[in-house]
Amino acid sequence: MTAKIISGKEIAQQIREELRQEIAELKAKHKLVPGLVTVLVGADPASQVYVGQKEKTSTELGIYSERIDLPEKTAQNELMALIDRLNKDPKIHGILVQLPLPKHLDETAVLYAINPKKDVDGFHPVNVGKLMIGEPDYLPCTPHGIQQLLVRSGVQIEGAEVVVVGRSNIVGKPIANILLQKRPGANATVTVCHTGTRDISFHTRRADILIVAAGRPNAVTADMVKEGVVVIDVGVNEVGKTPDGKRILAGDVDFEGVKEKASAITPVPGGVGPMTITMLMYNTVRAAKLAAGLA
């Protein structure tokens, strides 16, 4: 079997088209313009690329977009004061503080300070807790994007054996929680593997759907999967540079080997990546609707 390639690029485009229409309608019918602010502290090159993409995509879709760049040496109290101001700004429905923050800043304190109603990342403990009890306002963007890739590719999730490799707060734990919910597009049996797992292959070979967010290349190879598995590769690893200095990216899965056994697989780049930004736009629209009493 050679796998069908699940194109995150195409599915993201589809969702963006739906959002563009919804945003136009919110403007026409309710004079409501969803607003997103992205905050970047310091000059990390990868973060600059991500924030640039978020700003560009939101503007393209008709979202009001602000970008705030702060110097590396910004003090905690300055950042907290900015978040306080943004929490109170009625034009702004979503606040995204790009992570990681410089080491001298307290990331947890910053995430706690964002008004949960404007927490379009879904990282505030209130939103993490709401997801945990099955009453989410916002799903975190990358896991929500993964669920959409599966649903829109026609993958049977209900009743499936899902194995997640990685237990991070931004991917592993939330995707496990999302697919565990008793609702359509979920209701799976979920296993989460991590660095403390005794025999990862034992679990990955049982998976109907395998979601890999391990943070290292070749964490999953062909011998670790069964025929017909659906593989979602969340990894973004820089494995080299082109002669003109562009980053060469690889996922966490040995794509060439695994695609011979899988029924479907996401590529890197062009798989999960475009979905993350798209679901941020989705959350921003949702935040605006919630604030206006329209959701």
What are φ and ψ of residue 278, in 5° steps?
-60, -40
Smallest gap from residue 121 Cβ to ligand GUN (A): 5
> Is the Cβ–Cβ distance between 235 and 268 less than 8 Å?
yes
Tokens standing for residue 81: 């004061």
Between vectors from CA 263 to CA 257 and to CA 269, what angle results, nearest 5°? 60
DSSP state of 3: P
Smallest gap from residue 51 Cβ to ligand GUN (A): 9
Stretch of residues binding ligand GUN (CB under 6 A), selected from 61-69, 90-98, 145-153, 252-260: 90-98
For ligand GUN, give the closer residue by CB, 6 or 213. Answer: 213
Q: For residue 237, what are the CA distances in angstroms to 49, 93, 115, 247, 257?
A: 15, 32, 32, 9, 18
Smallest gap from residue 99 Cβ to ligand GUN (A): 4
Q: Does 97 bind ligand GUN (CB under 6 A)?
A: yes
For ligand GUN, give the closer residue by CB, 229 or 251. Answer: 251
Q: Does 98 bind ligand GUN (CB under 6 A)?
A: yes
For ligand GUN, give the closer residue by CB, 7 or 48. Answer: 48
Smallest gap from residue 103 Cβ to ligand GUN (A): 15
Task: Characterize 53-72 residue by residue with b for buried, 16 or more Cβ atoms within 10 angstroms of its Cβ, and e for exposed.
Answer: bbbebbeebbbbbbbeebee
Smallest gap from residue 257 Cβ to ligand GUN (A): 27
Kindly identify the residues of this chain, within the stretch 191-230, that bind ligand GUN according to CB under 6 A.
none
For ligand GUN, give the closer residue by CB, 224 or 279. Answer: 279
For the annotated catalytic residues, the residue numbers are 54, 98, 121
What are φ and ψ of residue 85, in 5° steps?
-65, -45
Q: Which of 141, 211, 212, 236 binds ligand GUN (CB under 6 A)?
A: 141
Q: Does 268 bind ligand GUN (CB under 6 A)?
A: no
Q: For residue 180, what are the CA distances in angstroms to 89, 90, 192, 232, 290?
A: 36, 35, 11, 17, 25
Q: Which amino acid is at 270?
A: G
For ligand GUN, give the closer residue by CB, 99 or 222. Answer: 99
**Listed residue (42, 69, 72) closest to 54, CA to CA:** 69
Helix axes 141-152, 8-30, angle to 10 degrees: 110
- Interatomic CA distance for residues 223 and 159, integer angstroms: 24
Stretch of residues binding ligand GUN (CB under 6 A), selected from 77-85, 97-105, 217-225, 235-243: 97-105
Binding to ligand GUN by CB under 6 A, coded x per residue (else -) over 107-126, reads --------------x-----
Q: Does 99 bind ligand GUN (CB under 6 A)?
A: yes
Total interface residues for ligand GUN by CB under 6 A: 9
Q: Which residues bind ligand GUN (CB under 6 A)?
A: 96-99, 121, 141-142, 170, 276
